[in-house]
Amino acid sequence: MGSIEGSIAVIQGRPMESKQPLAIITGGGRGIGREISIRLASEGYKILLTYNNDSISAEETVDVIRKGGIDAVALKVDCSNSSEILLLSEHPWCDEGLDVLILNHGYYERTPSSDLSESDLRKTLEINFFGAFGVWNTLKNNLNYNSRIVVIGSQLGIKGSSHGADYSASKAALQVWARSLAQDVGKSGMRVNIIAPGYIDTAILAGDSKEKREKRESEVPLGRIGTPSEIAGVVAFLCGNDSSYVTGAIIHVNGGLFLP
C-alpha cells in the first residue's frame, strides 16, 4: 500500500482550482473499493466512500486516507434503498460538484444456475444493477462537466457462470447500460468506462481451499491471482487525462484468463 500524497489533481477540461476534486466510491471500504479509494486519494481526490455492512473496514480506510493529509468520509448506504441513496446526494460535499463516480458495490452468492429462484435473481439485480443505476440517477445533477464514471463489472457479465447466473446477468445489464450511457453523455464531456476483473484476491475468493486456489492460478496465463491495487491502477488511468479519448470501453483486467 503506497503513501498518499496531498497533491491537487488537474481535472480534465477544467482549470486548476483551489478546492479538492471529489470522488465517490460505492462499496469503497474494503477489497477493490478500498484500494480505489486510497489510490484516488493519492491522486488528490477528496473521498466520499459508502459501505453497507462493514463499518469497521470503512472507517479504517478513511483513517488511512486522512493520515495521508486528504479528507475522507464514510457513509452507510444500502445501494438498493432509494432513501439511503438520497441521503448520499444530500451530503454537503455533493453541493460542491462531483468529479468522479465509481460504481463498485456488489453482491454475489454462488448458486447453481439450475437452482436459481426468481427471488434470488431479483435481489442480485436490485443491488448490482438497479442500485448502481439509482446512485447514478440520484447524483447525475451533481456531476461536474468532464466528470468520469467508472463501473466495476465482471468477465462473468460477458461469458456467464454456471454457479452465478444472477450475478452474471446483473453485471451484463450494468455493462451494457454503462456503454449506452457513455454514448448519451459524451457530448456533455462526461466519460463512462467499465472494468471487467477476472480472479482478484478479495473476499469472494477467501473461502477457496489451497487446491482451489492453485487451480485458479493454473487457469490464468500470467500464473497468479490479481490484486485489488491492480484494479485501482486502471481506475486511476480511466479517471486521468491519459484516457481523455476513452469512453464506453470494457477493459478486461484478468491476466489473460478471458480474451473476448
Rounded to whole angstroms, how far apart are CA atoms 166 and 187? 33
**Residue 160 CB-density burial (10 A; 0-12 exposed, 13-18 middle, 19+ buried):** middle
For residues 47-77, b (16+ Cβ closer than 10 Å) or e, as one string?
A: bbbbbbebeebbeebbebbeebebbbbbbeb
Rounded to whole angstroms, how far apart are CA atoms 155 and 200? 11
| CA atoms within 13 Å, Cβ hemisphere of 179 | 11
Residue 251 dihedral angles phi and psi, to the nearest 5°: -100, 120
Clarify whether 107 is annotated catalytic.
no
For residues 176-201, b (16+ Cβ closer than 10 Å) or e, as one string?
A: ebbbebbeebeeeebbbbbbbbbbbb
Catalytic residue selected from 107, 108, 167, 199: 167
Rounded to whole angstroms, how far apart are CA atoms 150 and 39? 14
Rounded to whole angstroms, how far apart are CA atoms 133 and 29? 20
Query: In angstroms, what CA-CA distances link 196 with 13, 19, 166, 181, 193?
Result: 27, 32, 16, 17, 10
Place of cell 477493459: 251
Q: Which residues are catalytically annotated? A: 167
